[in-house]
């Protein structure tokens, strides 16, 4: 059974998580970010010692739904990336969008989506040269680190296919 519990947390960490999630309080986005970070940390701790092995490790999102991630022997903790609602984009993820024949690219650097040296939200990136009404989930294509193909962000959302 999965249910939320309270865990004491240093104030500076609490505020950093809250700011990273873009919420003025500890809400669903912040909770999902904490759950993802702890899941990756636990997966890394239990990863096999062989550097080239990758084994599936169950992760749970904010709703308790099990997903699959690959636990590796990577010791570069913490795993950095951008938390986009319930979708985690690891550091190095490429983003692409096109509008009126012009294609724009961005990359996840650390905990930010960066395009032309400017940090942007997914919505701001999708509407950078658009009409301002584009749904980022349907306008952005993603290529995760190690992936050969691009996938529409909407299709990468947990619980969607």
**Domain span at residue 98?**
80-161
Q: Which among 43, 75, 107 is the end of a domain? A: 75
pTM for this one? 0.52
Q: pLDDT > 70: what percent of the chain?
A: 76
**52, 102: one domain:** no
pLDDT confidence of residue 55: 41
CB 71 within 8 A of CB 59: no
**124, 142: one domain:** yes
Beta strands 151-152; 141-143: pairing state = antiparallel
Tens of pLDDT, residues 22-74:
777 777 777 777 877 777 777 777 766 544 444 444 444 444 444 444 444 44
pLDDT confidence of residue 96: 94
Sheet harboring 94-99: ordered strands across? 118-120, 112-115, 102-109, 94-99, 141-143, 151-152
Task: For the beta carbon of residue 147, count every other beta carbon within 10 angstroms.
Answer: 11
**65, 16: one domain:** yes
Into how many domains does the chain fold? Answer: 2
In angstroms, the CA 121 to CA 132 distance is 13
């Amino acid at each position: 059974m999965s249910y939320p519990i309270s865990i004491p947390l240093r104030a500076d960490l609490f505020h950093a998580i809250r700011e990273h999630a873009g919420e003025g309080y500890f809400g669903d986005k912040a909770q999902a970010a904490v759950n993802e970070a702890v899941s990756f940390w636990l997966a890394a701790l239990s990863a096999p010692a062989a550097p080239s092995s990758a084994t599936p490790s169950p992760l749970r999102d904010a709703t308790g739904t099990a997903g699959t991630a690959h636990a590796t022997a990577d010791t570069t903790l913490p795993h950095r990336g951008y938390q986009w609602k319930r979708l985690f984009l690891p550091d190095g993820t490429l983003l692409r969008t096109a509008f009126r024949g012009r294609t724009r690219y961005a990359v996840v650097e650390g905990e930010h989506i960066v395009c032309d040296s400017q940090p942007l939200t997914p919505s701001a990136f999708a509407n950078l040269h658009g009409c301002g009404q584009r749904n980022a989930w349907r306008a952005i294509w993603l290529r995760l680190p190690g992936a050969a193909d691009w996938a529409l962000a909407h299709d990468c959302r947990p619980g969607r296919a």
